[in-house]
Amino acid sequence: MNFFGEFEEGALPPRRWDPATNAVTSLPYPGYNIFCAGHSYLADGQLLVTGGHIESHVGLPDASLFNAFTSSWTRLPDMNDGRWYPTNTTLANGDVMVISGEDNGSGDINELPQRYLAGSRTWRDMTTARLKLPYYPRMFLAPDGRLFFAGPWRASRWMTTSGTGAWSTGPSSNFGTRSYGPAVILDGRVFLVGGGDPPTATVETIDLNVSSPAWRYVASMTTARRQHNAVILPDGRVLVLGGTRGSGFDNSSYPVRHAEVYDPATNRWTRLASNAAYRGYHSTALLLPDGRVLSAGGRKVRTAEVYSPPYLFKGARPVVSSAPGTVAPGTTFTLSTPDAASITRVSLIALGSVTHAFDQHQRLVTLGFTRGTGSLTITAPPNNNVAPPGYYQLFLVNGTGVPSVGRMVRITTP
């Protein structure tokens, strides 16, 4: 698990934490300040890091790849201009769209999206898709191949990624601006969770699978939150951690320490255990392969803690005996498990890449399956719009809601 930036505003090298040994080791410095950059994973597992920090609201044009297999950095050609708080979104063919980010002052947004062409490691300016958006826009690859701008503004947008791009108007959400509130995508449904100033407890969802998507409210959280994080769990629920219930940018006087989990199947929130520290601005939360959740950081907070969800206390875990390392969309594949008869869910969860209350890469894809004797025959995602190419954690979940340890699976392009 890699940590990027924050202390001394990104001036220190990244560090790697090993959840198996609890050891923390230093990684190479990328050569410039990656504080407040954008980041998402490529099809080969490398992390694309875009932009960075000169000072508050002044961004760098730099871009780099981080290779976790070799613990090394590769510099890429610079982007068209600086980006501070940009969003990366991995596309169906493995390219990445980089959108927004401030250039040279508060409100000076880089309006020209750029497409990172993974095959040639070059940039394409999306010259017909100029648009001023908020920094760190909540962007998602939709099932039809377009990009969906879900927030934090009330007005949503669609972006066509072919050629040099185009924007069109999308449906407006109900609440209003949800600054520093997370958004997640589950099987093509986007959820906006809290945010705003003063913070709200409300939650909205939109189904991008249907022909005329529209926002609707679902059950609210147990308390209002801002600067919190949302993590997709193997059982298909969404865990929310940290944040503040107070007005203002990052009000640590009103911390929300208890976690809570949302179940889309029942439209219910359940209050859970509490963080030891306030986790607000610059905190992070990531799903670990063993089903626990790392909750770490915050502004000038150097601590980390690990949360064990209730499903880890409900009995024995399903076992994955063998699984393929790569899976092509539109196919079926076989997974060996002695617990085939008890499995009720197969979840595919993209690796997390979270910053500033938004994970730019995680998504849940629920896979269909049939049971065999000691095995499951699983239906892969239908295409790369549903599951962009790259690495995912595959979990089996049994009838009591207990997940297996995640198996790393790489989704390929056809």
Give the Cα separation of 24 and 223 in Å (integer).
Answer: 34
Contact between 395 and 347 (Cβ < 8 Å): yes
What pLDDT, on a 0 to 100 scale, did the predictor assign at position 414?
84
Q: Note the Cα 181 to chain centre separation in Å.
A: 13
Contact between 284 and 236 (Cβ < 8 Å): no
- Alpha carbons within 13 angstroms on the beta-carbon side of residue 408 total 9
What pLDDT, on a 0 to 100 scale, did the predictor assign at position 3?
44
Give the Cα separation of 136 and 101 in Å (integer).
Answer: 7
What pLDDT, on a 0 to 100 scale, did the predictor assign at position 8?
58
Contact between 357 and 227 (Cβ < 8 Å): yes
What pLDDT, on a 0 to 100 scale, did the predictor assign at position 12?
83
What pLDDT, on a 0 to 100 scale, did the predictor assign at position 9?
65
Per-residue model confidence as pLDDT tens digits over 221-237: 999 999 999 999 999 99
DSSP lists the bridge partners of residue 268 as 263
What pLDDT, on a 0 to 100 scale, did the predictor assign at position 300?
87
Per-residue model confidence as pLDDT tens digits over 16-74: 999 999 999 999 999 999 999 999 999 999 999 999 999 999 999 999 999 999 999 99
What pLDDT, on a 0 to 100 scale, did the predictor assign at position 10?
74
Q: Which residues of the chain have pLDDT under 50?
A: 1-7
